[in-house]
């Protein structure tokens, strides 16, 4: 930054008693003017002429930018009315003991800082109760931009402070009552309510007042909260000039949430790729290698597949015009379901408009309140949503831990139905389910077994039939898959017994209450399945590419583990992962950073997805760029075969 920010603080006293104080954060170019303005302010304060003025100027670094809380004014006529309103407002924000909290103002008299109270136990948490906690190092971004440094604006300063406080970790609310006996206005602030100004909250002439910050969280986090309040540099944007009517407040909460995501390196946007799905795309007019497409077998743009879609569009129309049970079933739908059942080796199949709907639709149809679901902790979001929507009890077991799974399932005998569900290939880690053991446990406790083959269909097994082919074991009761990944089209399916499919057709709400997929997508998936059956060498090429890429990474000392075409490269920190993805994009490789909430906080990673058509040159160059980004530039002839868990080299599948 060419003009770095400085924090400028002024405090003034008379005979050892504090009479005024103020702070600003301004660019270096405005520092001396600001300091002078603050000295003027101290010299002209209503409380008297100071005999001591201190001005402190410190470099501030990059501040955190926070959007101002929404502001509303409540006009009250009496102190009793104002206090009752404050209590009601806090109660509506989940703070139960507001009445008892208000009484605590009596203790805060003479404190320079605020009281920090545990919102539930009402214990005081400040390390120095005589001083309290001071929220400081903050300013209004607009005064900074406009350089309006002179006049004191109590109103804007209060909103800046209240905003900073509400973003401190663990803080859930604030109550402020002025300690000026003549100033009867106060406020209550929470993230959800915003800044609620209460015109009369105390009797005129009452000197009792101060600030109370309300905290909810572990004691171990209190130092972090205090550090944020006292040290974190913050500028507050969009401080409103006047109280806004209620109606204008509703978008502020959204803006605040977006700003928080941005600050945490978690905001998301859509990139426009100017190309069909494939290993190469154009992005902002530049050619990039795509190492993140789920079109594993290059079927999305295969001429036989696109011709089938075009032909179906001409023959059957673009859209189906109805739900499957009314007018939306056309010959391509029937043909695809037969084909899928034959491919997977089940009695029947049912298709949905998306894979997401197939998961939600199957789970919600099979179980409800009174039933129980056993779900792997790393299952895909569409499984999680289906579980939640079903109303059944949900028991989450440790990732791929069949001992934990069995222990939990064994305790579920009293439920009406039991459903165990797992990804076949875990979409963010690339590992696969231990299917034989999963099925054995399900059988032992008479649980429905369901696996999601979104990333297994077309990838696992010698002919791409999925995890059952790979593991050489029986089918689970419900095989879910997508048409949208290796099959290059869009849609989802369930393959299962006749009776189960009949049941879903009659009860599955996303199947019943949504328009059937259009014939072009359906015919494309059918054609893709035909190509896959005729050309299983695509699956072998994909497998070879995974082997080549993992060995290439190992030459740089990067050890990865995968059972599929998904290769996760652990990074950890969200911002670092994003920065690495940006760097790779500059080098011409599109590999996204996967962050919370898709994966756990602090478990950010690059997620590479390989295709059968990636060339060895592309894979070698990508591995080199990743290594460079991770600061591991040294390539060795002999790959490092020792894995993180100490095991020796293995087949990448
Ligand atoms: C992609 C995916 C889905 C959803 O499939 P769509 O067809 O994209 O809706 C479901 N489960 C898993 C594991 C996935 O990766």
In a domain, 267, yes or no: no
Atom 6 (ligand 1) nearest CA: 355
Using the predicted structure, report yes or no on whether residue 641 has a pLDDT greater than 60: no
Using the predicted structure, report yes or no on whether residue 151 has a pLDDT greater than 60: no
Nearest Cα to 569, choosing from 541, 597, 543, 549? 549
Nearest Cα to 339, choosing from 525, 472, 539, 534? 525
- Do 200 and 282 share a domain, yes or no? no
For the ranges 62-76, 287-301, 415-429, 556-570, which has the lowest average pLDDT?
A: 62-76
Tens of pLDDT, residue by residue over 474-519, are: 999 999 999 999 999 999 999 999 999 999 999 999 999 999 999 9
Q: How sure is the predictor about 102, in pLDDT bands with cuts at 50, 70 and 90?
A: confident
- The average pLDDT across 456-483 equals 97
Percent of the chain with pLDDT over 90: 70
Whether 344 sits among the annotated catalytic residues: the reply is no
Catalytic residue among 97, 333, 380, 485: 485
Angle (nearest 5°) at CA 429 between 423 and 431 = 60
**Which alpha helices (DSSP H) does 232-380 contain, by range?**
252-263, 303-316, 331-344, 355-366
- Ligand 1 atom closest to the Cα of residue 379 is 13
Is there a cis peptide before residue 652, judged by omega within 30 degrees of 0? no
In a domain, 489, yes or no: yes
- The average pLDDT across 140-153 equals 62
pLDDT of residue 76: 85
- Do 22 and 77 share a domain, yes or no? no
Atom 8 (ligand 1) nearest CA: 355
- How far is ligand 1, taken at its centre, from the CA of residue 390, in Å? 18
- Ligand 1 atom closest to the Cα of residue 455 is 15
pLDDT of residue 263: 65
Domain of 243 in residue numbering reads as 64-262
For ligand 1, pick from 429, 432, 450, 452 the residue to mutate: most ligand atoms within 8 Å of CB.
Answer: 452
Pocket of ligand 1 (CB under 6 A): 354-356, 359, 380, 382, 423, 427, 452, 454-455, 482, 484, 492
Whether 292 sits among the annotated catalytic residues: the reply is no
In a domain, 114, yes or no: yes
In a domain, 648, yes or no: no
Tens of pLDDT, residue by residue over 327-354, are: 999 999 999 999 999 999 999 999 999 9
- Do 421 and 545 share a domain, yes or no? no
In the chain, how many domains are there?
A: 4
Catalytic residue among 344, 455, 475, 614: 455
Whether 427 sits among the annotated catalytic residues: the reply is yes
- Ligand 1 atom closest to the Cα of residue 357 is 9
- Do 546 and 524 share a domain, yes or no? no
Residue 190 burial (CB count, 10 A): 22
- How far is ligand 1, taken at its centre, from the CA of residue 452, in Å? 8
Distance of alpha carbon 457 from the chain centroid: 27
Q: CATH number of the domain that 589 lies in?
A: 3.90.1150.10
pLDDT of residue 150: 44
**Which alpha helices (DSSP H) does 375-508 contain, by range?**
381-390, 402-410, 435-444, 467-471, 498-507
- The average pLDDT across 419-428 equals 97
pLDDT of residue 145: 61
Tens of pLDDT, residue by residue over 560-613, are: 999 999 999 999 998 899 999 999 999 999 999 998 888 888 999 999 999 999
Atom 14 (ligand 1) nearest CA: 454
- Do 46 and 147 share a domain, yes or no? no
Catalytic residue among 143, 382, 422, 427: 427
pLDDT of residue 73: 83
- How far is ligand 1, taken at its centre, from the CA of residue 380, in Å? 7
Residues with Cβ within 8 Å of 431's Cβ and at least 6 positions away in sequence, in order, are 400, 425, 561, 562, 563, 564
Using the predicted structure, report yes or no on whether residue 118 has a pLDDT greater than 90: yes
DSSP 8-state secondary structure symbol assigned to residue 194: E
Tens of pLDDT, residue by residue over 425-449, are: 999 999 999 999 999 999 999 999 9
Percent of the chain with pLDDT over 70: 92
Q: How sure is the predictor about 2, in pLDDT bands with cuts at 50, 70 and 90?
A: low
pLDDT of residue 259: 66
In a domain, 646, yes or no: no
pLDDT of residue 646: 34
- The average pLDDT across 625-634 equals 88
- How far is ligand 1, taken at its centre, from the CA of residue 77, in Å? 58
- Do 157 and 192 share a domain, yes or no? yes
Question: Is residue 503 exposed (0-12), middle (13-18) or buried (19+ Cβ within 10 Å)?
Answer: middle
Q: Which two tokens stand for residue 610?
A: 């390989």
Place of tokens 């740089």: 556
The structure's pTM equals 0.67
- The average pLDDT across 315-334 equals 97
Atom 1 (ligand 1) nearest CA: 454
Nearest Cα to 507, choosing from 381, 374, 363, 389? 363
């Amino acid at each position: 930054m060419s003009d770095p920010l400085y924090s400028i603080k002024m405090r003034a006293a008379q005979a050892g008693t504090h009479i005024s104080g103020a702070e600003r954060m301004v660019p270096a170019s405005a520092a001396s003017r600001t300091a002078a303005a603050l000295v003027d302010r101290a010299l002209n304060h209503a409380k008297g002429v100071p005999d001591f003025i201190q001005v402190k100027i410190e470099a501030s670094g990059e501040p955190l930018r926070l959007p101002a809380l929404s502001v509303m004014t409540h006009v009250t006529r009496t102190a009793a009315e104002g206090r009752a309103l404050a209590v009601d407002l806090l109660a509506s924000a989940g703070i139960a003991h507001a009445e008892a909290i208000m009484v605590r103002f009596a203790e805060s008299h003479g404190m320079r800082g605020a009281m920090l109270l545990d919102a539930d136990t009402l214990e005081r948490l400040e390390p120095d109760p005589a001083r309290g906690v001071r929220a400081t190092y903050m300013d209004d971004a607009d005064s900074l931009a406009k350089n309006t440094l002179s006049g004191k604006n109590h109103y804007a300063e209060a909103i800046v402070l209240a905003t900073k406080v509400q973003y401190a970790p663990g803080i859930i609310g604030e109550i402020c009552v002025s300690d000026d006996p003549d100033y009867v206005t106060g406020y209550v602030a929470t993230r959800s309510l915003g800044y609620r100004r209460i015109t009369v909250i105390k009797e005129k002439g009452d000197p009792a007042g101060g600030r109370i910050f309300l905290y909810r969280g572990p004691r171990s986090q209190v130092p972090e909260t205090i550090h944020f309040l006292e040290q974190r540099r913050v500028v507050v944007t969009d401080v409103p000039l006047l109280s806004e009517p209620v109606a204008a407040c509703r978008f502020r909460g959204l803006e605040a949430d977006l700003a928080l995501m941005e600050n945490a390196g978690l905001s998301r946007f859509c990139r426009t790729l100017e190309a069909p799905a494939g290993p190469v795309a154009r992005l902002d007019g530049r050619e990039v290698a795509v190492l993140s497409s789920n079109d594993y077998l290059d079927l999305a743009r295969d001429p036989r597949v696109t011709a089938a879609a075009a032909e179906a569009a001409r023959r059957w129309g673009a859209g189906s015009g109805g739900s499957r049970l009314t007018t939306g079933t056309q010959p391509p739908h029937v043909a695809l379901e037969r084909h899928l059942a034959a491919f997977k080796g089940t009695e029947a199949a049912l298709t949905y408009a998306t894979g997401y709907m197939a998961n939600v639709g199957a789970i919600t149809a099979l179980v409800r309140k009174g039933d129980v679901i056993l779900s792997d902790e790393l299952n895909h979001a569409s499984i999680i949503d289906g579980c939640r929507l079903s109303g059944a009890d949900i028991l989450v077991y440790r990732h791929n831990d069949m001992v934990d799974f069995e222990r939990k399932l064994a305790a579920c005998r009293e439920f009406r139905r039991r459903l165990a569900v797992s990804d076949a290939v875990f979409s963010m880690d690339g590992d696969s389910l231990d299917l034989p053991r999963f099925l054995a446990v399900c059988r032992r406790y008479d649980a429905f077994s369901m696996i999601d083959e979104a990333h297994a269909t077309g990838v696992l097994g010698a002919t791409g039939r999925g995890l059952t082919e790979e593991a050489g074991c029986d089918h689970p009761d419900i095989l879910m898959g997508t048409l949208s990944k290796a099959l290059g089209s869009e849609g989802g399916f369930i393959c299962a017994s006749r009776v189960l499919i009949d049941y879903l057709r009659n009860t599955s709400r996303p199947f019943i209450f949504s328009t059937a997929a259009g014939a072009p997508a359906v015919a494309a998936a059918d054609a893709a399945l035909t190509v896959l059956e005729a050309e299983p060498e695509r699956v072998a090429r994909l497998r070879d590419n995974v082997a080549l890429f993992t060995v290439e990474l190992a030459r740089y000392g990067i050890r990865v583990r995968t059972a599929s075409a998904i290769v996760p490269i652990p990074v950890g920190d969200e911002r670092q992962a994003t920065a690495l993805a940006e760097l790779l994009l500059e080098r011409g490789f599109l590999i996204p950073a996967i962050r919370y909430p898709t994966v756990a906080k602090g478990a950010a990673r690059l997620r590479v997805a390989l295709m059968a058509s990636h060339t060895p040159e592309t894979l070698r160059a990508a591995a080199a760029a990743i290594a460079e980004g991770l600061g591991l530039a040294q390539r060795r002839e002999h790959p490092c075969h020792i894995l993180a868990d100490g095991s020796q080299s293995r087949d990448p599948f």
